[in-house]
Amino acid sequence: MDLKNGGETRFLQIHELEELRNHAYESSSRYKERVKRFHDKRIREHKDFRVGDLVLLYSSRPGKLRSRWTGPYTFKEEFPYGAVTIENLSGETFKVNGHHLKLYINEPVDPVEEILELHIPHT
């Protein structure tokens, strides 16, 4: 009698564990879908380029003390899955990943002068 009750208890524990695993899997899948929608929405909002726009290209290996953004380049054409064609100032065109681009803002910058007075400390 004791073995039968123990077997039934173990059977119920195994099924309960399986239900917990299924619940965790479904919860994880829903979370991943939500994160993907949020990520895709944010990418598409900021990456709307038109033909003729000036863009900067991200370089992952710029070297010491150099900017990671090169350019400006002229946006020429968009392909499926995020690939785009850009043209540099000398007229060469090449394809790059559209996620590595950002809009180049070609406006004059007003320099702001800041005067910092240094005082000699008393000894």
In angstroms, the Cα distances linking 20 to 25, 30, 81, 98, 117 are: 9, 15, 37, 41, 66
1 pLDDT tier (thresholds 50, 70, 90) = low
DSSP 68: S
**Alpha helix locations (H) across 47-119?**
none
Of 94, 95, 102, 84, residue with least CA distance to 43? 102
List pLDDT tens digits, range 11-43: 889 999 999 999 999 999 999 999 988 887 766
- For domain 49-103, give the CATH number: 2.30.30.140
Of 58, 96, 59, 90, residue with least CA distance to 77? 96
71 pLDDT tier (thresholds 50, 70, 90) = confident
Q: pLDDT at position 45, please?
A: 54
